[in-house]
Structure 1
Amino acid sequence: MSRQPPIRIGARGSKLSLAQSGLMQARIAHALGVPTGASKEEIEAAAPLIPIVTSGDRIQDRRLMEIGGKGLFTKEIEEALLDGRIDCAVHSLKDMPAQLPPGLILAATPEREDPRDAFISHVAQRLEDLPKGARLGTASLRRQAQALHVRPDLEIVMLRGNVDTRLAKLERGEADAILLAQSGLNRLGLGHLTRSWLDPDAAPPAPGQGALVIETRLEDAHAPWLQAVSCRETTIAVAAERGALYALEGSCRTAIGARAVLDGARITMIVEALTPDGAQRFRRHGEATLSGDNDIAEARKLGLKLGAEVRAEGGDAILLPE
């Protein structure tokens, strides 16, 4: 067993966040020297999990853009990191703002789960099959805009809350269909509920969707245990997607989709931004061959380039009015 001091892991207190953090807790403990098959107590001793309730979890009746944006899912956790109350944080990468507080870094990204958006409904097999004027539940401006681009007749119902809450609202008939991240459903053992998926090329997911990320203080970024839990391919792909996010000044007020796929040294990418009503869509495709010298920086450069091109074309049209 390693003599490495325990690594305290901060995470949101939602059921999905705790499930995701639990997966990473075992990986981190193993990287610290806890043997495979160790007891829950041994894992907890090496990498204790510390739930932290965030403002985004407390406020469930309004869109994130109305109450401060994505940062409300990370603010309290990042404060605990900076104060030294925890040593790292596990996040869904799609929930991370384009810019981080000074002194913090996204230090490791493990293998990505399914990045697609899942369509769940009791009245239709696909989004395209919904009856005219059907109610689609989502709190995501991107999902709203992408759905309205295909089906402008749909009524969008604001649907926040954890996965169980959204599924319960669907069961109560508050919406005819909902869109959720397939990765979250899979991690909760609910993947079987999906009726179909949005085509990730026609409707690219949020930058980083399906990926978890470990955030640390800058001075801890090169710890050996972080390298042990990171996936090179995922790290390169999400670097491109977050480059596009940064170039587009991505927030909860912009409907942005980005998908990067790595095949050997070749990375291909789609970036899009839509007007909130889905009427206009601005897209760019691009690719690059990575040199092997600094693949992460080269992938980010591709994302920055495509994102800047979309931003230049879309202008203020892609921003939700304040």
Structure 2
Amino acid sequence: MIIRVATRGSALSIRQAEIVMRRILEFNPDVEFKLVIVRTTGDVVLDKPLYEIGVKGIFEKEVNLALLRGEADVAVHSLKDMPAQISSELTLAMTPPRDDPRDAVVSVRGYTIDSLPSNSVVGTSSLRRRGFLLSIRRDVVVKPIRGNVDTRVRKLMGGGYDALIMAAAGLERLNVNISVNKIDPLLMPPAPGQGVIGVVVRRDREDLLKVLRRSNDEDTFREAIAERAFLSRIGAGCHVPLGGLATVNGDSMDFVYGVVDPDGTSKFTGMVRGSLSDPEGVGRRAAEELLSNAHELVSRLMKNP
């Protein structure tokens, strides 16, 4: 069987596709692969933060079109880029083992959140990272930054920033040689799906579904299902700065969640624990707690992105 794998063309996206292909080969040694590179709007428009471009699922949508058009068999995504709702013809079929889901302070001088000097310029275009950072360190300056991992690190090395806030997983997948200090999820709840690579396929491809299910990491998949249920219940897009992280803990699942105003003045965080047998229920319960306890903040953020 030859599987055509659709992905974006960035170094990180291709690396993630390689991780998926290696995982599939472990359980299906007779499979062969062909990469299908898709150039998306999010890759072309680099002069605006993602929340200003206004296209929900900006990276996911155009890659998945390759499946719907019959140009590819599976699509590989950073799961945090996938909206809670995708085409009814498609399904999330597989996740390889999760990489570190935490955000991290990236710098030349080895800064942590606590050791950043006052008035440091910190780069991120994520409203979530911006808000939680400012809620902890109101004395730093947050400056937008776009581009792939390599581009952002080059801008940091060029002296335009004192530090960046980035996903630890992407830096580790690319073996970036720079100081990375990870942030406690209770201080900065990660984006739902962060650290997870998602593999999407058409629902009617039973042959492929069998191959992918053999390759699936069950704990990671449960965490992904919980976090996507959380996102679905909240009903928020990428413009709402909220985080949600599910972690398998024996027979239980812990779920850390949070929402923050982009200026860091208001935030709410919490944690729930539920049964591993009902990951969707755990995610929904976390969402219900968030909506109940931070209803006014969430409503305001959803009305005024």
> What TM-score range do you get, normalising by the shorter chain?
over 0.9
Q: How many residues align?
A: 304
- Whether contact under 8 Å (1:257, 1:273) holds in the other structure is yes
Unaligned runs of 5+ in 1: 35-42
Deviations 1:12-45, CA, capped at 9 Å, x for gaps: 00000001101112222444333xxxxxxxx7xx
| Equivalence for 1:136 | 122
* Matching of residue 247 in structure 1 with residue 223 in structure 2: no
- Whether contact under 8 Å (2:168, 2:180) holds in the other structure is no
| Equivalence for 2:36 | 50
* Matching of residue 10 in structure 1 with residue 6 in structure 2: yes
One-letter amino acid of the structure 2 residue matched with residue 204 of structure 1: P
Aligned in 2, Cα 1:303/1:315: closer, same or farther, shift over 3 Å?
closer
TM-score, normalised relative to structure 1 = 0.88
| Equivalence for 2:104 | 118
One-letter amino acid of the structure 2 residue matched with residue 214 of structure 1: V
**Structure 2 CA distance, aligned partners of 1:124 and 1:22?**
30
Alignment of 1:14-163 (within 5 A): 14-34=10-30, 46-123=32-109, 125-163=111-149
**Structure 1 CA distance, aligned partners of 2:68 and 2:116?**
47
- Whether contact under 8 Å (2:128, 2:260) holds in the other structure is yes
One-letter amino acid of the structure 2 residue matched with residue 316 of structure 1: S
TM-score, normalised relative to structure 2 = 0.93
Aligned in 2, Cα 1:297/1:245: closer, same or farther, shift over 3 Å?
closer
Give the aligned CA root-mean-square deviation in angstroms.
Answer: 2.0
Unaligned runs of 5+ in 2: none
- Whether contact under 8 Å (1:243, 1:302) holds in the other structure is no
**Structure 2 CA distance, aligned partners of 1:94 and 1:12?**
15
Alignment of 1:232-311 (within 5 A): 232-290=218-276, 292=277, 295-309=278-292
TM-superposed deviation, 1:124: 5.3
State the SS of the aligned residue for 1:214. strand
**Structure 2 CA distance, aligned partners of 1:124 and 1:187?**
20
1:226 to 190, 206, 212: 212
Moved beyond 6 Å, runs of 4+ = none
TM-superposed deviation, 1:158: 0.7
- Whether contact under 8 Å (1:118, 1:180) holds in the other structure is yes
One-letter amino acid of the structure 1 residue matched with residue 2 of structure 2: P
TM-superposed deviation, 1:217: 1.0
One-letter amino acid of the structure 2 residue matched with residue 215 of structure 1: V
What's the % identity of the aligned pairs?
35
